[in-house]
Each structure stands twice: as C-alpha cells, then as structure tokens.
Structure 1
Amino acid sequence: SKIVGGSTPASTGLVNNVVSGASFTIEDSELVAATPSTLWNGVFGSNFTAERINVHGVVDSVRVLGGNVVVRDSWLHDTTYSKTDPLRNGTPTHDDTIQIQAGSGILIEGNRLEDAHNAGVMISQDASRSTLSNIVIRDNYLQGGACTINIAATPKTIRPQVTANVFGPQRIYATCAITAPTSNAPSLSGNIWGATGLALTSFIVVP
C-alpha cells in the first residue's frame, strides 16, 4: 500500500487508532504525506504492529501513545522540519523518527532510523497516558537527531534496553548517541559505532 493522507493536513497520523484504540497491523507499506505539513505524522497510536514500512515526509515517523507496540524491519527517514513551525510559536519543528510517550511492551527492532532533527528515538512520559515500562530497542541502525536516543526524566524510573544496535555517524552532536538522566539509565549491551566498529558502552548524562 501507499498511504498519502488527505489534501487538508490534520494533527494526527496518516495511520492511527487514537479514537478507537483497536489493534492493527500494517505491513509492506509506504507512508508519505501528499500535502507536506508540520501537522502530519506517520503511524500514530498504540496496540499496533508495523513491519517493513517506509515512512518519510512527516514530522514523527512513528508516535507511540500506549503499549503493545512493535516496529520492525522498517525504514523511517526524512522527517518534515521547519525552522519556524507555526505549531511551536515560530520555533523549530520538534521532529523525531520515533517518539514514545506512554505504554508498556514496546519493541523497536531491525529498523533503519535516520534524518530527524530532534531525536532518532525520543522517550518521554505523557502524564495523561499509561506509564512507560518494558521498552526494548535492538538490532537497529540508528542515526540522526541532536542526540540519537533521548531518554527524558519521568515520574517513574524506567530502564530501556538498548541492545546490539549500530550507531551511524550523522547527528548534530557527533558523540551523543544516547542521552538520559541517571535515574533512567538505559541497559546497554552489544552496541557499536558504525564508523569504527568500537563498542558503545556509555551514555551522556543530563540532569
């Protein structure tokens, strides 16, 4: 399938279950907004599986708003960005390849993520939604963002598992593959820098 959205942009996903919450699977599909806008996102919601999808030309390629989510074997790239985004009072767009705002049982596996300006994977708790837990990021090729994986402070401690990923060279801060507060220190194993093959065993601590 190729999913392009309507001619009038909406502040939601080209594919979403925000209202119903019903489970869905999307496979072997391209998602790109036919009408470029800082309103459009790609896959948006919870309780879904996305496999072998190609998402580009939207703000957040995937935005996770709850649990039971798998994103696997997909190419998420070329997010929409504006230096003066009207949705952010004229400040730059806050585009993430994957934004995780809530939920438990979230697996990001075997994907290629690149080209975002804010983060490749942004993890932050939306206080109005279910508590974050059990997040696994493994076997991906990751680059882009200011820091590629950005884990924010959350009311409840989380320890995302970041395992066996390759971190490419492209990001705003070259050495910032992962950033997190010590309270949410990720569990790291088997990650490498793609350019050198050296192990990536630490993250940059933020308050």
Structure 2
Amino acid sequence: MVIRNAVIRGGPARCGAVVQVAAGASAVIEDVEIAPAATGPCLDGIWANAASLTRVNVHGGVNGVKATGPDVLLQDSWVHDSAFFASGAPGGGETETDAVETVGQRRVTLRHNVLVVGAHGNAAYQVRQTGGAASGDLRIEGNWLDGGACTLNLSHAGGPPMTGIAVVGNRFGRASTFACPILLSTRTTLTENSGNVFDDTGAPIPAPSRHD
C-alpha cells in the first residue's frame, strides 16, 4: 500500500486506528495528515507494521503512532496534540496517551521527528513488552521530544531484557511531569546513549532514571 499527498480524517468514532497496516501487509506513507474527524477513547492515529512513514502529521487520536508489528520507520514527522479522555479507555479509566508506542516489537526507528504529548501525556515514546515478547533493535535518533510523565519510557513490563536500543542526538524539552527525559527499566541497558541534550541550553540531559 502506498499513500501520498493526502489528508485522512476517518469515519465515525470507533476503536482501532484511522490508518491500520495489518499483519502481513506493508505500507509507504508520505506527506500525509492523519487526524480523526470523530475521536474517541480507543481511537489512535496509525497502527503500523512493516511501514515507512515520512513527513506525516498525526494528531487528534489517543496515541499517534503504534508500532503493532516490526520494521517500522518514522521520520521527518510531527506527532502532537493527542486526545485525552478521563474515562472510557479499554479496560476502564482514563486514556494513556503516547505520541509513539511500541509493544513487543523489533526494528523500529524514529528519526528526525517532533514528538510531543500534552499535559495528560504518558510519554513521547513508550516501549513495553507484553506476553513475553522481546522488544529491541530500536533507534531513536535526532528527534525533538517533550512531555509525558517521562519523555522516553523504556519499560520491560515483565518481559525479558530489552536489547539493541540506541538513543542518539536527540533534543529534549522540559515539560515532562517528573523532570525525567528518560525512564529506563532496571532490566534494560542502552546500547548507545550519546549526544542527547536539553533544547533550551544545549546541556546534556541527566542519566536515565531507573524504575520498574
């Protein structure tokens, strides 16, 4: 599937994603705006599998981009202004909002993006493992990142240790709730962690916070 030079609004409010690249499929999406016309507490922007996403503008869903399969590239894109709902999330309660989320997937690259979540955001990029899946081979490079409780949240969530994660040359805002650019599971080691600075001063960000 190839989508270029388009604006996608979706239909009535529902659960799922405005654009979904299903397992076994692949996609190239370039120069596209994705924003649901009718949002709801279980509607995201893009669910991506084997997808190359370039210069996409994603906003208005609960989560901007979910890597639901491996081999996802998001580059030169803007993910922002996600929706928050105090109730009605799957399983009940309030929604957990991430600009980008990876659950148990490998070979995901975020490069040269602006990823921002608002006051109710959980993370600009949330990585977790579910059901024993082993996330890894992740590269987070040259992005502008801000918001969330912690801006990058790399959590093993009961799964095996995550491997092959590089966080390189990113610029961070200061809007995270706990003044926490990176939250790193105690069972996760960054393969590379260099050149990450605060955007306003150029000073290096602190070492990752450790918590499970």
TM-score (norm 2): 0.89
CA–CA distance in structure 1, aligned partners of residues 11 and 24 of structure 2: 21
Matches within 5 A, 1:1-207: 1-7=6-12, 9-18=13-22, 20-89=23-92, 91-116=93-118, 117-127=121-131, 131-153=134-156, 154-159=158-163, 160-173=165-178, 175-186=179-190, 187-207=192-212
- Are residues 77 and 206 of structure 1, via their aligned partners in 2, closer, same or farther at CA, if it must alter by over 3 Å? same
Query: How far off its partner does 1:126 sit?
Result: 2.7
**Structure 1 SS opposite 2:54:** strand
The letter of the residue matching 2:136 is: S
Let me know the Cα RMSD of the aligned residues: 1.6
Question: Does the CA contact (< 8 Å) of 2:110 and 2:140 recur in 1?
Answer: yes
Classify the secondary structure of the residue corresponding to 2:187: helix
Instruction: Say which SS state the counterpart of residue 182 (structure 1) adopts.
Output: coil
Q: Structure 2 counterpart of 1:178, which letter?
A: I
Q: Which amino acid aligns with 2:79?
A: L
Q: Distance in 2 between matches of 1:86 and 1:147?
A: 21
Letter in 1 for 2:90: L
1:69-110 CA deviation, whole Å, 9 max, x = no partner? 100000000001012235342x22101000001222110000
Distance 1:21 1:12 in 2: 17
| CA 1:155–1:34: 2 relative to 1, 3 Å | same
Q: Please report how far the alpha carbon of residue 180 of structure 1 lies from its aligned counterpart in structure 2 after TM superposition.
A: 1.2
Aligned residue identity for 2:25? A
Q: Report SS of the residue matched to 2:46.
A: strand
Residue identity in the other structure for 1:109? R
- Count of residues in correspondence between the two structures: 202
Query: What secondary structure is seen at the aligned counterpart in 2 of 1:121?
Result: strand
State the alpha-carbon separation in 2 of the partners of residues 93 and 15 from structure 1: 19
SS at match of 2:86: coil
Q: Distance in 2 between matches of 1:127 and 1:87?
A: 18
2-structure distance, mates of 1:25, 1:126: 27
Structure 1 residues without counterparts, runs of 5 or longer: none
- Given that 2:41 and 2:87 are in contact with CA atoms closer than 8 Å, whether structure 1 keeps it comes out as no
Identical columns (%): 27
**Closer, same or farther: CA 86–39 of 1 in aligned 2, 3 Å:** closer
Provide the rounded CA distance (Å) in 1 between the counterparts of 2:176 and 2:205.
15
1-side partners of 2:206 and 2:189: how far apart? 12
The one-letter amino acid paired with 1:122 is Q
